[in-house]
Amino acid sequence: MTNYYLAIEIGGTNLRYGVVDEAFQVLEFQKEPSSLLSDAEDKGAYIEHLVSPYLKRYGREQFQCITLSLASLMNRERTINYNSPHIRGLDHISLTEILSKQIGLPAFMERDVNTALLYEIWHRHMDSSGIIIGIFIGTGLGNAMCIDGKIYIGHSGSACELGHIPVPGFTRDCGCGKKGCIELKASGKALHRLAENLFHCPVSEIFEQYGDREEVLEVVRACAAAAATEITILDPKCVILGGGVVEMKGFPMEYFEQTVRENLRIPNPRESVVFYRAENAPEAGIVGAAINASARMRNEI
């Protein structure tokens, strides 16, 4: 008998959800603006409203669990959301407990960058031995790490906050509560400031129109510096590079890689590290969430 996953990705812009089977194939897929969840007073009831057609169509007993991917700080056990900056009303609650009671299924959740990396490893049929890192340059600077097939979450559950390493002498306030985080220089937020205040163009066109300008290249170099720092420490066998900034037209991938390598030791990891560009698959988040839930249920995480 086939069992399915109810899978949901809660992003800053879109909420994607659907049904994923045991082979991690997507059987149902829908999306809607995340603002609708943000505006909902009862989050559990709203999510139940989204998935109830699937429960009726397939039968509740056919589902193994409900599994979430979201941009949130969370505890090591992945039961408490500490901070979900894109969705109002998710801070300091147990979304998994709420959904488990509301829907009547076990509930799991994981950070979106981790599910994105799980998806990439699965999609590429990669040998997951050794260290594989994901760097996702979007609104912020996301990061994930897989060691011998397991996502590394750290002692407290807050590992891989690459965007929040400090830049000496830089004192701008960061939304995380600290000052001087590299994410303020190395992210879509930095590009948005340039597009709005300096170039007066849509941020989506900044690489096409102004990609050779020093101000834009400085953002790319800051991203490369963060990547080189992590690669120097970990010596991974490969790096998955993704996120909305990387997908923008004109993103200088060759320049980014060159700048990273220039900041790595010779001969290795400068010569040994391999870069892959992430798939821009809309279903990546829900598939990654299903992969995570499968591993959790087998006690492999």
Residue-wise pLDDT for 147-194, tens only, equals 999 999 999 999 999 999 999 999 999 988 899 999 999 999 999 999
Based on the domain organization, do 126 and 217 belong to the same domain? yes
Based on the domain organization, do 47 and 192 belong to the same domain? no
Percent of the chain with pLDDT over 70: 99
Question: Tell me, what DSSP letter sits at residue 117?
Answer: H
Mean pLDDT within 249-275: 97
**What is the predicted pLDDT for the residue at 89?**
92
What is the pTM assigned to this prediction?
Answer: 0.95
**What is the predicted pLDDT for the residue at 1?**
56
**What is the predicted pLDDT for the residue at 85?**
84
**What is the predicted pLDDT for the residue at 301?**
60
Mean pLDDT within 24-33: 97
**What is the predicted pLDDT for the residue at 86?**
83
**Token pair for 168:** 């000496």
Enclosing domain of residue 41? 4-111+282-297
CA atoms of 232 and 235, how far apart (whole Å): 6
Residue type, 19: V
Beta bridge partners of 166: 181
Question: Tell me, what DSSP letter sits at residue 36?
Answer: H
**What is the predicted pLDDT for the residue at 9?**
97
Q: Residue 273 in contact with residue 104, Cβ under 8 Å?
A: no
Based on the domain organization, do 142 and 229 belong to the same domain? yes
- Contacts (Cβ under 8 Å, ≥6 apart) of 86: 10, 11, 12, 34, 38, 71
Q: Residue 106 in contact with residue 100, Cβ under 8 Å?
A: yes
Based on the domain organization, do 173 and 208 belong to the same domain? yes
Based on the domain organization, do 236 and 153 belong to the same domain? yes
Q: Residue 202 in contact with residue 195, Cβ under 8 Å?
A: yes
- Which pLDDT tens digit goes with each residue over 86-97? 899 999 999 999
Based on the domain organization, do 96 and 231 belong to the same domain? no
Mean pLDDT within 252-281: 96
What's the structural domain count of the chain? 2
pLDDT, mean over the chain: 95
Phi/psi-derived region of residue 109, left when phi > 0, alpha when psi is between -120 and 50, beta in every other case: beta
For residue 138, CA distances in Å to 12, 73, 151, 160, 184 come to: 11, 17, 20, 15, 12
Based on the domain organization, do 182 and 97 belong to the same domain? no
Based on the domain organization, do 168 and 245 belong to the same domain? yes
Based on the domain organization, do 128 and 262 belong to the same domain? yes
- Phi/psi of residue 128, each to 5°? -90, 5
- Which pLDDT tens digit goes with each residue over 102-135? 999 999 999 999 999 999 999 999 999 999 999 9
Based on the domain organization, do 124 and 106 belong to the same domain? no
CATH code of the domain in which 107 resides: 3.30.420.40
Mean pLDDT within 77-84: 92
Based on the domain organization, do 180 and 271 belong to the same domain? yes
pLDDT confidence bin for 300, thresholds 50/70/90: low
Based on the domain organization, do 218 and 175 belong to the same domain? yes
Mean pLDDT within 36-55: 96
pLDDT confidence bin for 248, thresholds 50/70/90: very high
pLDDT at 141 over 60: yes
